[in-house]
Structure 1
C-alpha cells in the first residue's frame, strides 16, 4: 500500500520534456553526471531507446536532484529523484544517493526488473568495463569498500550510543561509559574520506544498502 502510494506520488511529479536532444557524455562530467540507456519494446515489438540523464549538481529549488528522461534521443519527461516514469510495458524507476544513483531500472508490468546500461563514457560505464576486464581485482575493490563502510558503521554507532548511555538515568544503572575506540582527528578525517570513496565506488555499481552506505553519506 505505502509503496504504491509513493509510486503514484512520484508519477504526479512528472513534467513534460522540452524535446531537446540528449547531450554526449564528456570526460569532465565523470564526477557529476550519470547517463543510462535501455531499449524497450512495445506490444507490437517496436523498440524505443530510453536514456536517463542525472546531474548531481542540477537540483530544483528545494535541493532535489532532477532526473531527465529521453526517448529516442529527445527529452521526453523531467522529474525529481526518486522518479518513476511510465513507459511501454512498465516504468523506469530512478533513485539517487549523495554519491550517485542507487537505482536505475526498468520494471515491467509483471514485476520483472532490468537495470539500465550505463553509457560507456560515464564513470559507471568505465567501472562496468573494468569489472569485465579485471573481475578478480574488481571483486577485491568491492570487498575493501564493504570493509571500509563497516568500519564507518561501527564508529557511527559508537558516536550515537555513547551520549545515550551517558544520560543520567541510564548511567546510574550501568556506570560510567567511555568510547571503545579513541581516534585522533587526522585519522577520523581520513576514515571519513575513505568511507566517502567506498560509497562512491558502490554507487558506480548501484550497490546500496541503507544500513551500510549511510555511513558514507
Structure 2
C-alpha cells in the first residue's frame, strides 16, 4: 500500500518538458551529471530513444531533478525519486548522497531493465571497465562492499561506546562498553573518505544498499 502510494505521488510530480534539445555530455561533468538512454523498438521497426539527464546538485527549489528527453527533445521533468510514464511502462529514477541508485525501465509486466549510461559519463566509463576487465571489475566491487561493511562495524562500535558512557545512558543496565578499535581524529577522517569513495563506486554501477550505502551517507 505504501509503495503504491509513493508510486502515484511520484507520477503526479511529473511536469511537461519545454522541447529544448539534449546537450552533449562533457568530460568535466562526470562528477555532477548522469546521463542514461533507453531505446524502444516499435512493431513497425521504428525506434524511440529516451534519455534521462540528472544533475546531482540541488536546483533552486532545493531538490535534485531528473529530466526525460524523447528523441533528443525535453519531454518531461520531475524531482527525484521520479517515475516517468513511457511507451510500454515507466522509467524510474532514484538518487542517493553519492549518485544514482536507480535508473530503470519497468515494463507493464513488471520486468526491469537498467538504462544504458552515456559512454562519456562516469557511469559509462565504469561500465566499460566492467566489460573490458570483468575480473578486475568484480574485485573492485567486492572491495567497495568490504570497505563499507568495515566502516559500518566501526560506526556501530563507536556508537555503542558513546551510548554506554552517557551519564544517563544504559550503562547502569548493561554496563559500559569500550570499543576495541580506537581511531585518532585523522583515522576517522580517512575512514570517512574511503567509505565515501566506496559508495561512489557502487553508485556508478547503480548498486545501493540501505544498510551499507545509507549508513555511509
Q: Which residue of 1 aligns with 2:99?
A: 100
Distance 1:92 1:195 in 2: 29
In the alignment, is the contact (CA less than 8 A) between 1:195 and 1:215 conserved in 2?
no
SS in 2 for 1:57: coil
* 2:120 counterpart residue number: 121
- Partner SS state of residue 91, structure 2: strand
Distance in 1, matches of 2:118 and 2:37, equals 7
Would you say the 8 A contact 2:161–2:176 is kept in 1?
no
Structure 1 Cα separation of the partners of residues 146 and 117 of structure 2? 26
Counterpart position of 2:164: 165
| Structure 2 portions without partners, runs of 5+ | none
CA contact (8 A) 1:35 1:53 kept: yes
Once the two structures are overlaid, the 10-residue window that deviates more, 78-87 or 162-171, is 162-171
Aligned residues: 216
Distance 2:73 2:169 in 1: 62
RMSD between aligned alpha carbons?
1.5
CA deviation after TM superposition for structure 1 residue 57, in Å: 1.3
Please, which runs of 5 or more residues in structure 1 have no aligned partner? Answer: none
Residues 56-95 of structure 1: matches in 2 within 5 Å?
56-61=56-61, 63-95=62-94
Residue 18 (structure 1) shift: 0.8
Name the SS for the 2:170 alignment partner: helix
How far apart are 1:147 and its partner, in Å? 1.1
> Partner of 2:198 in structure 1?
198
Cα separation, partners in 2 of 1:41 and 1:5, compared to 1, 3 Å: farther
Change (3 A) 1:169 1:143: closer
Normalised TM-score (structure 2)? 0.94
- Give the conservation status (yes or no) of the 8 Å contact 2:37–2:116: yes
- For residues 112-132 of structure 1, what are the alpha-carbon distances to aligned partners after superposition, in whole Å with 9 as ceiling and x for unaligned? 001000001100000000111
